[in-house]
Structure 1
Amino acid sequence: MMSLSNVGTYIYKPLSGERDFRLINLLQGAGDDPISLTISHASLDSNPAYEALSYVWGPQHPAQIVQCNDSYLGIGENLAVALRCLRKPNVPQVLWVDRLAINQENNAERTRQVGLMADIYSSASAVVVWLGPADHFTDTAFGLLDKVYTQVQEIWNSQKISKAARINPEVYATVYPPSEDSRWLAIRSLLTRPWFSRAWTFQEIVLARNAHLYCGAHTRNWQRLEFFLTCLNTFQEGPNIEDGRLKDAGKHVNDILKARQMFLRPETFKTLEKEDFLSLFSLLDSIRARIATDPRDKVFALLNVTCDVKDTDLRADYDKSHAEVYAMTAKWLLRRTKSLAFLSFVEKKDTPDLISWVPDFRYKDIMKILLGPQKPKLSRRSRYSSSLYAGYMLGPSLIRPSHQATC
């Protein structure tokens, strides 16, 4: 174990160019070998080769000490476990890791780097999704993903299905285990890992050109999970179609799949459908239940994947408090949509740290979802007037369309 008294803390050098960022050179090692890495500067404009890590931060204390250049850095346990598992035994590995690549003590730098994250994740050769250590379900879950993927490949090959037709779920005539099969518990365990419920991981995987899942030493291409869930969504098994074999376990990942399809195959969706799902209003609603360590990230984590925020004045700013961020977001929604629909997000506040009319994006009231009307659809065809908030309180019959969307 490295003694903190023997080495100095790593000091970040300022990034000079507007599109400069830092890359992590994870040095080779195995088992309990100390984690060693170096940090260097690069520019996105030079197209460097690297993989981007997507993971759950978790507790940062007590810190795990890693060797960094000629100094040290303290990182959280989750990241330390991931780096030990992901590093190669014989050769270094180039990664982008937010905790290490961004000076977390410099708010101005955090703000600038968050603005680059869309390019960072979409430019990576692959996004490495660290789900955590393996457990007794991992082998079984990955085995079922493999089985479905193999079936689909065999169908494609035997029927000579074109690449264009392969995105059509109707061609996936796959066979799944019966509802009582224990393998469904393994899939449920996989889909309820914390990674799937975090705010930042939505953006990180949606923007990925290619991605790999890691559970301990087990790894699969992300595409296998997509195939499994896409096929499952069209699976029919007589009267058992509503048997709830996964219940709500796939909610978070199904949002990811839909958004990824809209980014990767936009031609397969109608414009209004994309605008409805990827507008900031809709994402704030559908992704609101996700977890973020920093409450400001409930907004900032969505800005790079929305269809209507780009080239506007709504940007990440870590010099602002969460109350200021939520207020500026509410004002932006009002200006952008010309509607008071955002008031439907306002719920009873446990702490008086926000203006009464500002939604608290830290929480989502489950009972409100069950008892209240459906969220408004914000599209060019419909918009909601100030009667929406009253309509929410007094009944959906008061809701009337008024303004046009500008998404």
Structure 2
Amino acid sequence: MDFAYDSSLASDELRLLHPVAIDRNSLRFTTRRVRRASNPRYTAVSYTWGNEDASEIIYLDHRRFRVRPNLWSCLYYMASAARTAAWDYLWVDAICINQTNDAERNSQVRLMDQTYRDAICVSVWLGLVPLPEYIRSSLPTGTPTRTVETDGFDWQDSIVDLSNRPYWSRVWVIQEFLLGQN
């Protein structure tokens, strides 16, 4: 059964995600509506939606919800870090705002500056970056027991690749990046 949003969020509310089960085949979250004034401990995720269709499945409150591949990867890594993170919840616009409800979407978009400002941190997801073969071949296999040598590594190409990620072409980046506390 597919996930269905309950009633629209009020202007003083947020919808948040809490990771409950993570593996390569399944990402499961619970959703929670909270009052903004309750100061929930969440990280706001800044990322690009991408051009792909919403073809990946996650589970919200035991129900299927489709997301785009870039967001699935982001959620996988964010949820994997949840046990040791300083936050309890995630806020992700594509999920935490009902994108099919114009009234909720318009109301919540007007509050996005507050949403990012109130987050205990803003996590930026630049997307998965394939490792060049020369790096991959130098990585130890098995349990890491030593530091990987980086002498001779062309950092300049990596910095150029990083700065050319689609994330940096988004206008929203300035707000999301600058309003976050951490």
- TM-score normalized by structure 2? 0.80
Distance 1:205 1:12, change over 3 A: same
Equivalent residues in 2 for 1:215-364, closer than 5 Å: none
Identity rate of aligned residues, in percent?
A: 31
SS at match of 1:29: strand
Paired position in structure 2 for 1:116: 111
Deviations 1:374-397 (A, max 9, x none): xxxxxxxxxxxxxxxxxxxxxxxx
Q: CA deviation at 1:129?
A: 0.3
Corresponding residue of 1:46: 38
Is the counterpart of residue 69 in structure 1 residue 56 in structure 2? no
Which residue is 2:74 aligned to?
82
Please report how far the alpha carbon of residue 90 of structure 1 lies from its aligned counterpart in structure 2 after TM superposition: 7.7
Alpha-carbon distance between aligned partners in 2 of 1:90 and 1:185, rounded to the nearest angstrom: 31
Change (3 A) 1:91 1:186: closer
What is the CA–CA distance in structure 2 between the aligned matches of 1:113 and 1:195, rounded to whole Å?
A: 22
What's the counterpart of residue 403 of structure 1?
none
| AA partner of residue 26 (structure 1) | P
Q: Secondary structure at the residue paired with 1:201?
A: helix
Counterparts of 1:137-286 in structure 2 under 5 Å?
Answer: 182-210=154-182
Name the residue aligned to 2:12. Answer: 19
Classify the secondary structure of the residue corresponding to 1:132.
coil
CA distance in 1, matches of 2:9, 2:62: 22
- Residue of structure 2 equivalent to 1:386: none
Residues 302-353 of structure 1, C-alpha deviation per residue, up to 9 Å, x if partnerless? xxxxxxxxxxxxxxxxxxxxxxxxxxxxxxxxxxxxxxxxxxxxxxxxxxxx
**CA–CA distance in 2 between the matches of 1:90 and 1:107?**
31
Instruction: Give the Å deviation of 1:60.
Output: 4.4
Query: CA shift at 1:33, angstroms?
Result: 3.3
2:9–2:15 contact (8 Å) kept in structure 1: no
SS at match of 2:75: helix
For structure 2, the residue ranges without an aligned partner over 5 or more in a row are 136-152
Cα gap change, 1:62 to 1:13, in 2 (>3 Å): closer
Amino acid at match of 1:68: L
* Aligned mate of 1:34, from 23, 26, 35: 26
- Counterpart-to-counterpart distance in 2, 1:45 and 1:38: 21
SS state at 2:111 partner = helix
Structure number with higher helix proportion: 1
Provide the rounded CA distance (Å) in 1 between the counterparts of 2:16 and 2:178.
21
Structure 1: state its 5+ residue gaps. Answer: 1-7, 141-180, 211-407
Cα distance in structure 2, aligned partners of 1:22 and 1:51? 12
Q: Which has the higher contact order (CA 8 A, sep 6+)?
A: 2
Paired residue for 2:92? 97
Asked if the contact 1:28/1:89 (under 8 Å) is kept, the reply is no
The residue type paired with residue 130 of structure 2 is D
**SS, match of residue 17 in structure 1:** coil
Structure possessing the higher radius of gyration over alpha carbons:
1
Structure 1 residues 124-165: Cα deviation after superposition (integer angstroms, max 9, x where no partner): 11101001113337xx9xxxxxxxxxxxxxxxxxxxxxxxxx
Aligned to 2:149: none
Q: Which has the higher strand share?
A: 2
Give the AA of the match of 2:4: I
Aligned length: 160
For the 8 Å contact 1:19–1:116, the answer to whether it is kept is no
CA shift for structure 1 position 76: 0.5
Q: Which AA in structure 1 matches 2:124?
A: V
Change (3 A) 1:9 1:107: same
**RMSD value over aligned CA atoms?**
2.2
Give the equivalent residue in structure 2 for 1:312.
none
Structure 1 length-normalised TM: 0.37
Mapped partners of 1:115, 1:78: distance in 2: 25
